[in-house]
Amino acid sequence: MQRKVQVCETLPGLWTALAAVWRECAQTAVHTRGYFTAALSGGRTPAAFYRVLAQEQGLPWHLTHLFLADERLVPPDSPESNARLIRSTLLDGLAQPPAGIHFVKTGFLEAAAAAKAYEQELLQAMGSLSAADPRLDLVLLGIGEDGHTASLFPGTDALAEQGRPVAGVPAAPGRRARVTLTLPFINAARRVIFLVAGSGKRAILATVLAGGRELPASRVATPGVTVEFFVDREAFPGS
């Protein structure tokens, strides 16, 4: 597994660079398979990127299916909702809606039940596109300061899940119950991109890039796939 880092001097430069890669991924997928599937993360970092992406012209949204890398079990209108973030920063800005928007149903009391429901939706959607190949074209991830990615937190059963594509993450002190794509499903994707910005992420990014395998973000690794890091100068350890 290779890691490739693209350092951008400014945040606008970072969004532009990532939008170009999104376009490349989407066009390649549509040309090859007739559709494009991507899983998006929440959090603060990608919000500005989603706003830029919404303004990009000529993207094949009518052939694009969006999924969530993870979601918190909160109401859809909660400020903590990743679906709300993506709706307000990306979807509301699009001239035409994507072919598929697959958000997590969060009205469940238990994370395991929500995960099972999302897994069924994910596999049904991917199966309807290609019965033979349920791999995402792109997964866009962030990194938390503890090295988590999606909702794969250190020491959790979800991180250890090796069979199913989706796992539930029970609530913990200071952390909502969540649903997350699992490592095997993320690692099966054709392209995995981390978006990391800000000086607060410099230390954890250095550890992840050094390959500290005990961290969830370090375990995003696919044989034969180069995991890409799009970072600003602030977050880059070599700055």
Strand 166-169 with 100-102, pairing: unpaired
102-138: burial string, b at 16+ Cβ within 10 Å, e else: bbbebebeebbebbbbbbebbeeebeebeeeebebbb
Q: What is the DSSP letter of 103?
A: P
Q: How far is the CB of 178 from ligand 6PG (least distance, A)?
A: 7
What span, in angstroms and rounded, lies between the C-alpha atoms of 196 and 212?
17
Q: How far is the CB of 32 from ligand 6PG (least distance, A)?
A: 27
State yes or no: residue 144 binds ligand 6PG (CB under 6 A). Answer: yes
State yes or no: residue 76 binds ligand 6PG (CB under 6 A). Answer: no
What span, in angstroms and rounded, lies between the C-alpha atoms of 108 and 114?
6
Q: Which of 11, 27, 43, 170 binds ligand 6PG (CB under 6 A)?
A: 43
Q: How far is the CB of 70 from ligand 6PG (least distance, A)?
A: 5
Kindly tell me which of 33 and 233 has the beta carbon lying closer to ligand 6PG.
233
What span, in angstroms and rounded, lies between the C-alpha atoms of 122 and 103?
9
β-partners of residue 195 are 230
Kindly tell me which of 70 and 119 has the beta carbon lying closer to ligand 6PG.
70
Q: Which of 69, 114, 126, 231 binds ligand 6PG (CB under 6 A)?
A: 69
Q: Which of 81, 82, 89, 106 binds ligand 6PG (CB under 6 A)?
A: 82
Residues of the shown chain interacting with ligand 6PG in the complex, contacts defined by CB under 6 A: 41-45, 69-70, 82, 142-144, 148-150
